[in-house]
Structure 1
């Protein structure tokens, strides 16, 4: 019996053929994007990579007019002679058969291993150029874009065994390759480098990390960078540093023309492949207000009041964050010391408490969201009450002497240790600080209070799906608070910190030097002034020794130290005499940076002469040396070579201090102001107190 199709079956078959042809045509009209790479591209370690790998998330961003292919192969190398060459993998042929219009290459992470790089590194560049040529020569003639590698973090077991150096070499070669092959480069290192919490195994990103990759690739493909965006510190009442070249920068859509109008001058600049733009104006004398306008064809920002003057950054922990409203004589300050030529910019931590963090708190514990910024405000009563007392006293004192606008930025965080403020690139250079990076919560080098607070705040964190870092962990406050402002020209830094490193004196000295060098590098000023507060008096055992260690840090060029032990509190880590501290910092700046002939330092130990049974102590800044209240010098001790210190008798002769004790026949060492809560009373003719000091290195 012959089989026949009825009318409806014929109609259904015809429709199916029609839809199939239509789908084929639609597929042919789509822009095809081939994502070539290793396990990061594949989505290794990500739950459901078919939905959450970076190519999958890229497909969602690009939409139905694009077709994204994931051609990642775990472990693949760019090197043809590597242990697992991408060239030999089925994904390589599949990516070519895909007939792509765009090829995104992210390879190199597996080449950095000691099983590949040392022996074959000279082959990497040519192998990469060969792969680019293979894709460019496809019949589909795709646009090829290559990528700077995603980060490899210090917790990787090969990091200190050559991988750190290999990684840097490969990143550098990728830039060279891009130039030789005339292809664009997507930087996948930034900002992922600032989110180690998205790399649980130090190499593979989580879904959140993959989302950052997909966003960057999306922008590179489409040129869409969210239109005109300005840096954090740009806004009404902003203060720009006088007598320095003025640079404005930001992001915009690729190839958009950005117009900048300032001081009756107009300049145009084109946003580059990565959306970046920068334009320079000549330096200016102090003045204002000036109008400033940024615009693209579709968006603009108009600022009516921009000033030229002096810009300083105030940072550190709680004593810098200590508010005007809580200081001694606050009523007088808020009545008589308001100044409409001092402009405040506050960056406040969103999450800080003595309790377990909530899920809402944890969501703020990352480099992108930790700080809440105020914008620039004048120093009216409402805004000033919540601003840093030390920072305002400093800025107010500068303004009164200089008679120019002064901008002061404060981003201090209570309880924060020095390592939170240092960049990852700096911390990754030495084993001691790498150890801090890799063991951030129970490391014995971390002060007990800090470690305990981290544990308390992060209790139960691992049970949530939120990826977070504690604000006291290494590098996070640099990532969140310094990196976003590093391109803004500042005159210098004032710093009040150390309480959270006081139990690790030697380590703190190393961290402090590292921090100063690090900030000078990122602010692109190797002579950036850095003035800090020596810790006050407090009845805690290590504070005297710590103060002396801070004095020794004055051997770092272009630093200055304001002594504060005479305005401390025996039991309160937050003494309230903050105006005095801010004024002392301002004296250092006024002398060093603005050439005022004023006393700016108390007596500092210069050298010690042994005169029989007496030590003769010489000081820098010792002119007019005296003991307050015409009394004997207090809190001073001497010792022989056994370093068993006893109270000393004293006499001041021609600006030198003589010390002795009937109990010590052959004195060698002296200590002053070492009692944690010191009643030291040695000052110079300017009334500035002598620093805690000793000629003993113990």
Structure 2
């Protein structure tokens, strides 16, 4: 007789008599992939694929909502059964039975399922945002289901999650710790549709978009070299590390013109060396020039090594470094990482050290907030094969690196800055899960990296192919305002990413854009106003689900010369546009073809148009809200703002 069926929560249930078979040895019951578990929600009007592991060759019978399907496990024990699409409703019970055992999943609803992903502004929880508003303290809603994917990384796509996610009903116990932007979006979509809604939250603060891209998406998005390197790392980590280190060194030489042997990581490099006051964030050293510094610093220390210690291998331990490092010993690259929480421990092969004076050099690249060599000092040491060691927690000197254009390369297996590392562990295990839409709030970590539009387009196409259809909605939260409000027109990494997000959404028949620059905080990269972000994402998602004819708010449609000025036409306007608290709209820039030619322009609002008077100088394109933290005042009757754009004048 087959073993008794079990739930994921451990409750034993009876097995239908029709499934009884002859006696067999005790075997493991089937396991399911993806997000199946008590209180789960599956997508309505889409076929339901149930896959997992069973005993090789055995027949697996699946039943859900009155429909059944069977599959035979292959030689690896993999099975996949497909059930017909169902209308919204529930709750239902999913049963999976095989000669080796059975399992039961209770309280499964059918409705609309949404995936929310990105970096820290998607990750910010309800309790860390506007936790006192009524929407954050809603009673339990059995029709709204929430699940968070635990953080994990992998260098190859995984078949299942490292930790099985657990669904929860939305309520006082589950809402506070859930993604604020995702929850408020899902809550509003539930109210709009009246059907059960599920929200999957899978994000990681500080992550680049490349970490969320599959191998095919990386190649389509212009990151084929990173895809090749992480594939090499999966086969031969040592060879991949050496190639990555060489790539970083070549990047430095290309941008600085330093010749071989004259780079800053060489012993005796003639930099403006100063003693390191403490192993801690350099912003806290009391050095005025470093109080708010973001960029690169060089650290260096000499170490005395005996002949016996130099003969064998050794281990270099540098503690934690924020954000990224590249490290050398005697001018030879030995390792690097871009994960601030990771202890840097680098193996030194025989021949790296020499008797007498040895030089350890570390490049620290701080791209956000505090940075430096964090230690702790007692964890910093050079350990030799004979068991002896030298402490490295003091005696360092530092120098500010010369400015280098562009972002430094990161190792593609470097977790949140890698290539595919988060996709492999936090997205790929969703496998054939069908969804109604995707909400994306990311881009801060990609400022300064050209080609964001190409990468985002590739990710959208890939995720749709995996989890939905070509019509699956994709709503993007345009980056908020952060940084110094501009006093004069200037190029902005945040403005470039915002405009890339706008263009990708505008060119996508099922894309939507939620503008957020008006509810940002120029002193905080994590503004707390996530309720409005969620509502705007819900509006953008609804428009994207409806198709190209719908727009989620006022969006630039065209710019053309008119008389001595430029007329801007907007679509998606609710009522009319209005300059708030002023007679004219601000935040516009008239720009010529030459760099540095942009200048402020005031707009006269006329219904859904804005006219920018000319100033007698050439105009080839118009920018709006383009600074890191722009000051603007243009919105429609629904108080929805116009988002960042840079468009040519026809």
The TM-score with structure 2 as length reference comes to: 0.65
In the other structure, the counterpart of 1:297 is 99
Alpha carbons of structure 1 residues 630 and 595: separation in structure 2 relative to 1, 3 Å: same
Pick the aligned partner of 1:688 from 632, 640, 645.
640
Q: Secondary structure at the match of 1:273?
A: coil
Q: CA deviation at 1:440?
A: 6.1
**Structure 1 pair 300/387, CA: closer, same or farther in 2 (3 Å)?**
same
| Bigger mean CA offset, 429-438 vs 528-537 | 429-438
> Does structure 2 retain, via aligned residues, the 8 Å contact 1:440–1:473?
no
The alignment covers a number of residue pairs equal to: 458
Equivalence for 1:577: 529
SS in 2 for 1:279: strand
Q: What residue in structure 2 maps to residue 178 of structure 1?
A: none
Corresponding residue number in structure 2 for 1:159 = none
CA distance 1:651–1:331, shift in 2 (3 Å): closer
Question: Which whole-Å deviations, capped at 9, do the CAs of 1:628-660 have from their partners, x for residues lacking one?
Answer: 235421211213454612221321124210112
Alignment equivalent of 2:603, drawn from 647, 650, 653? 650
More strand by share: 2
Cα deviation, 1:385-408, whole Å, max 9, x if unaligned, reads: 111001101110011111111011
What CA deviation, in whole Å up to 9, does each residue of 1:182-230 have, x standing for no partner?
xxxxxxxxxxxxxxxxxxxxxxxxxxxxxxxxxxxxxxxxx99955111
Cα shift readout 1:132-187 (whole Å, capped 9, x = no counterpart): xxxxxxxxxxxxxxxxxxxxxxxxxxxxxxxxxxxxxxxxxxxxxxxxxxxxxxxx
Task: Report how far residue 298 of structure 1 moved.
Answer: 2.6
Q: Deviations over 1:542-564 (max 9, x none)?
A: 21232122211121342111100
Residue number among 447, 451, 470 corresponding to 1:502 in the alignment? 447
Aligned to 1:477: 422
What aligned pairs does 1:617-696 form with structure 2 within 5 A after superposition?
617-622=568-573, 623-642=575-594, 644-661=597-614, 663-696=615-648
1:399 aligns with 2:190: yes
Structure 2 CA distance for aligned equivalents of residues 666 and 594 of structure 1? 40
CA contact (8 A) 1:590 1:596 kept: no
1:604 paired with 2:555, answer yes
Matches within 5 A, 1:226-265: 227-265=29-67
How do residues 541-580 of structure 1 correspond to structure 2 at under 5 angstroms? 541-554=492-505, 555-580=507-532
Question: Could you tell me how far apart the structure 2 residues matched to 1:571 and 1:349 are?
Answer: 27
CA–CA distance in 1 between the matches of 2:149 and 2:133? Answer: 24
Q: 1:253 to 1:437 in 2, by over 3 A?
A: same
Q: 1:533 to 1:380 in 2, by over 3 A?
A: same
Distance 2:501 2:424 in 1: 25
Q: Distance in 2 between matches of 1:488 and 1:627?
A: 45
Conserved in 1, the CA contact under 8 Å of 2:509 and 2:544?
A: no
Counterparts of 1:595 and 1:316, CA distance in 2: 23
2:167 corresponds to 1:376: yes
- Unpaired segments of 5 or more residues in structure 1? 1-222, 352-363
Distance in 2, matches of 1:566 and 1:580, equals: 10
Question: Within 5 Å, which residues of 2 pair with 1:145-156?
Answer: none
Deviations 1:85-124 (A, max 9, x none): xxxxxxxxxxxxxxxxxxxxxxxxxxxxxxxxxxxxxxxx
- Partner of 1:490 in structure 2? 435
Contact 1:320–1:388 (Cα < 8 Å) also in 2: yes
Q: Does 1:460 align with 2:344?
A: yes
Q: Is the 8 A contact 1:419 1:475 kept in 2?
A: yes
Partner residue, 2:177: 386
Q: Does 1:346 align with 2:148?
A: yes
Map of 2:307 onto structure 1: none
Partner deviation per Cα, 1:651-694 (whole Å, 9 max, x = no partner): 11242101125x43444432210121112111123221111112
Matches within 5 A, 1:52-63: none
Structure 2: runs of 5 or more not aligned: 1-24, 230-242, 253-293, 296-321, 326-336, 350-411, 485-491
Q: Which has the higher helix share?
A: 1
Distance in 2 (CA, whole Å) between partners of 1:614 and 1:642 is 19
Q: Match for residue 460 of structure 2?
A: 516
Q: Distance in 2 between matches of 1:341 and 1:577?
A: 25
**Contact 1:344 1:377 survives alignment (8 Å):** yes
Q: Distance in 2 between matches of 1:224 and 1:479?
A: 33
1:413 to 1:386, Cα distance in 2 relative to 1, 3 A: same
Cα shift at 1:474: 0.8
Give the alignment of 1:109-258 within 5 angstroms.
227-258=29-60
1:350, distance to aligned residue in structure 2 (A): 5.5
Q: Deviations over 1:66-96 (max 9, x none)?
A: xxxxxxxxxxxxxxxxxxxxxxxxxxxxxxx
Q: Deviations over 1:469-525 (max 9, x none)?
A: 534311111110111102111112110000110111x32222111211221232362
Q: Report the alpha carbon displacement of residue 609 of structure 1 after superposing the two structures with TM.
A: 1.8
2:339 touches 2:415 (CA, 8 Å); kept in 1?
A: no
Does the CA-based 8 Å contact 2:435-2:468 persist in structure 1? no
User: Which residue in 2 is equivalent to 1:319?
Assistant: 121
Which residue of the partner structure matches residue 277 of structure 1?
79
Which of 429-438 and 515-524 deviates more? 429-438
Shift of 1:463: 3.9
Distance in 2 between the 1:425 and 1:459 partners? 31
Q: Which moved more, 1:648-657 or 1:488-497?
A: 648-657
For 1:411, what is the secondary structure of its paired residue?
Answer: strand
Partner of 1:37: none
Residues 310-341 of structure 1: CA deviation (Å, up to 9, x unaligned): 10100111111110101125353333465331
Query: Quick one: structure 1 residues 451 and 629, their matched pair in 2 at CA, closer, same or farther if it must change by over 3 Å?
Result: same
Matched-pair contact (CA < 8 Å) for 1:602–1:691: no
> Secondary structure of 1:518's match?
helix
| Cα gap change, 1:391 to 1:431, in 2 (>3 Å) | closer
RMSD over equivalenced CA pairs, Å: 3.3
Higher mean C-alpha deviation, range 470-479 or range 572-581 = 470-479
Report the Cα distance in structure 2 between the residues aligned to 1:324 and 1:373, rounded to whole angstroms.
23
Instruction: Please state if 1:536 is matched with 2:480.
Output: yes
The CA distance in 2 between the partners of 1:596 and 1:339, in whole Å, is 32
